[in-house]
Amino acid sequence: MDAQTFPFTILLVDDEEEILFSMRTLFRSTGYPDVITESDSRRVMPLLERQEVSLILLDLSMPFVSGFDLLRQIAPRFPHVPIIIVTAANELEMAVECMKGGAFDYFVKPVERSRLLASVQRARELNCLRREVSTLSRHLVSGRLDHEEAFASMVTCSEAMGGIFRYLEAVAATDQPVLVAGETGTGKELAARAVHDASGRTGEFVAVNVAGLDDLIFSDTLFGHRRGAYTGADQKREGLIARAAWGTLFLDEIGDLAESSQVKLLRLLQEHEYYPLGSDTPCKSAARIVVATNRNLQEMMAAGTFRRDLYYRLSAHRVTLPPLRERREDIPLLVDHFLEQSAVAMGKKKPTPPPELYRYLSAYPFPGNIRELQALVADAVARHQHGVLSLESFREAMGASPCADLADVPRQIAGVVGAPDRLPTLKEAEHALIAEALRLSGGNQGLAASYLGITRQALNKRLVRRGEGG
């Protein structure tokens, strides 16, 4: 299946055209645009053979082929399609037989609108869950991305990041919320945009930082207002929810959302509807919600500052982006990317970084993560005049000796022989240096080679001699 929003097609089967018309109108007005109707029960099975449907609403009393006979034909051949029985026959025994035969739910006409829509929504969630499991299994087994271009802005060679990408691509086409956690500067908004791009949604990607918004501004920003809703509201204004229709609404810093606003967001997620300020008529939401936070929401729940029910709604799909210090193998790639990006933006030739730059950066903890690295590289390119890129701006920002690990290397080498009264042999020193470089690089041979000032091929030859290469 292409990366697009999972379709949800409803098939209505009833021999009364008036009922088909009213039911189709109800579903289309409540956010289910793909509705097929069929008044001749003999045409149902051929229709299912040629067209995929997500849910069937089936009347029991029909000429030619009864609804119960259709249920017994459909259930074993299309077990993944939920079937809701809607009938005028209020017979307990028939209801039991239908449920035994594989019906998802059973309603007696006239059907209460709210109960029917709630059942359809449950069927939709079940349908999405089955598709998610299938898609996620396929992605994890294949170990590849179907739409790499959606993640092109996130530069990495990290295996951990690759796993995150595959998971996000697998859940991108659903309409369930996604929670992206991680420290400041780890690329949470890029991940949210990648989810949108991989989803194939036709609407916009709309981002808003909710930190510091009081309840009124939050409501007005997201839901909009009607004319006269409050003093100064001279014109009707649509909110960001409407702007993100059939697209993605990204709410950043969700951990800073006021409790009163949390209640309104919870209703939006549960009911898929909202009230513009000054309106008593709800509007249906067609936007997918993605949220991000750098705070520990579970700790906030324990402290009573973040609603549990909202957390569980938001975390239907959840990822945590690792900090840069846990993916140091990405530093050379990121530096090269930001050098190119900064040079183009400043109209300069891309400078050549000195070999020691990667050793220097890999020893730094990067509290500001990728965003901090980007700023450091941009500042260095702005100062650069000619020749090899200078380390001076990095030293000013990071300190002259950012890492004790590198400073301790000579001491570690000196103690490698276990005797303070003699120096290690050249062979012992080489082994210690290689071991330390591999430790600092997290086992990444390319990065370890840059630490040692040699090529990866040269490092691999040395490892092969020691029986560690491959």
Nearest 5°: the CA angle 291, 323, 256 is 35
As a whole number of angstroms, the distance between CA 371 and CA 366 comes to 9
Alpha helices in 63-214 (DSSP H): 67-77, 92-100, 113-142, 159-172, 188-199
Residue type, 227: R
The encoded tokens of residue 297 equal 């929401």
2 φ/ψ sector (left φ>0, alpha ψ -120 to 50, else beta): beta
Name the helix (H) or strand (E) containing 49.
helix 44-50
As a whole number of angstroms, the distance between CA 400 and CA 378 comes to 19
Cβ partners under 8 Å of residue 72, min gap 6: 101
Phi/psi of residue 51, nearest 5 degrees? -140, 135
- The confidence score (pLDDT) of residue 404 equals 43
pLDDT (tens, 9 = 90+) of the chain, 470 residues, equals 333 345 789 999 998 888 899 999 998 888 888 899 999 989 999 999 888 899 999 988 888 888 889 988 988 888 888 999 888 777 777 888 888 888 889 888 888 888 899 899 888 888 777 777 766 666 666 667 888 899 999 999 998 999 899 889 988 888 889 999 999 999 999 999 999 999 989 999 999 999 989 999 999 999 999 888 888 788 888 999 999 999 999 999 999 999 999 999 999 998 888 999 998 888 888 899 999 999 999 999 999 999 999 999 998 899 999 999 999 899 999 999 999 999 999 999 999 998 888 888 888 889 999 999 999 999 999 999 888 898 888 888 887 544 444 445 555 555 555 555 566 778 878 888 888 778 777 677 877 776 777 777 888 888 887 766 55
- The confidence score (pLDDT) of residue 409 equals 53
- The confidence score (pLDDT) of residue 176 equals 87
The SS3 assignment for 108 reads strand
- The confidence score (pLDDT) of residue 96 equals 86
| Pick from 336, 343, 334: nearest CA to 385 | 343
CA 419 to chain centre: 54
How much is the pTM? 0.66
261 neighbors 215 (Cβ within 8 angstroms): yes
Entry field: residues in the chain: 470
- The confidence score (pLDDT) of residue 370 equals 96
- The confidence score (pLDDT) of residue 322 equals 95
| Pick from 332, 230, 239: nearest CA to 286 | 239
As a whole number of angstroms, the distance between CA 115 and CA 218 comes to 31
Cα–Cα distances (Å) from 427 to 28, 336, 339, 417, in that order, read 76, 34, 37, 11
As a whole number of angstroms, the distance between CA 362 and CA 335 comes to 11
Beta strand 55-58 pairing with 83-87: parallel
E-strand stretches of 171-266: 178-181, 205-209, 224-225, 237-238, 248-252
Q: What share of the chain is helix, strand, coil (3-state, %, to 5)?
A: 50, 10, 35
Rg (CA), the chain: 30
| Pick from 185, 186, 181, 143: nearest CA to 165 | 143
Cα–Cα distances (Å) from 358 to 100, 227, 453, in that order, read 66, 58, 10
